[in-house]
């Protein structure tokens, strides 16, 4: 049995590598699934993570455990995924400035003939951002591959006043919830 991370995210890989999982492999899903039209954030990330897990499972051995995740930022009922370009990244950051928003990560774990799927929610509060800060941050390129146009584990940490919930969820993989899901399948990270 191998544990397969169905993600191209270097952050998710780094998080799992802290557990020294023997046989950990990374097999990204073959495509980026779009956010389902009209879906609530929790439902959207669960659907996308499930799709990634099922796609990768087709490429793996039957006894493997597959872990897939997808993360979005939600503000005022809108889902903010990865920005298409620098202008959209700047607009997202303007919207988040001085406000609280939610980060949702959907996690799907397949193993032993079972499928577990959940969504984790974390509230993040941004301080007010000056237009110059937004421009400087966007110029670093960091926001362009992050849901909501920021990375709390990188330079985006300078904007985060507070977090209520699982910090690792904001990074894209809620480790507490994932550990419980894996335990349910008989896999311990301890």
**What positions carry a catalytic annotation?**
70
Quote the tokens at residue 40.
């609530």
Instruction: Give the residues across from 116 on adjacent strands.
Output: 109
DSSP codes, the chain: --EEE----HHHHHHHHTT--TT-EE---SS-PPPPTT--HHHHHHHHHHHHHHHHHTTS-TT-EEEEEEEEEEETTEEE-S-SSHHHHHHHHHHHTT-EEEEEEEEEEEETTEEEEEEEEEEEEEPP--HHHHHHHHHTSGGGGSGGG--TTTGGGGGEEEEES-HHHHHT--HHHHHHHHHHTT----
């Amino acid at each position: 049995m191998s544990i397969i991370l169905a993600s191209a995210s270097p952050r998710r890989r780094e998080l799992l590598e802290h557990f020294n999982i023997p046989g950990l492999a990374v097999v990204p899903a073959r495509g980026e699934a779009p956010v389902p039209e009209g879906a609530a954030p929790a439902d959207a990330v669960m659907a996308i993570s499930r799709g990634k897990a099922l796609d990768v499972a087709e490429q793996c051995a039957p006894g493997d455990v597959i872990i897939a995740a997808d993360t979005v930022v939600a503000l005022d009922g809108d889902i903010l995924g990865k920005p298409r370009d620098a202008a959209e990244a700047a607009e997202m950051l303007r919207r988040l400035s001085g406000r609280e928003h939610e980060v949702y990560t959907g996690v799907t774990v397949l193993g032993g003939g079972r499928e577990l799927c959940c969504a984790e929610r974390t509230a993040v509060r941004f301080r007010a951002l000056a237009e110059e800060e937004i421009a400087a941050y966007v110029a670093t390129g960091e926001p362009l591959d992050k849901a909501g146009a920021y990375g709390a584990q990188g330079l985006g940490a300078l904007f985060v006043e507070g977090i209520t919930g699982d910090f690792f969820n904001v990074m894209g993989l809620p480790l507490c919830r994932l550990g419980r899901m894996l335990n349910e399948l008989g896999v311990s990270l301890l």
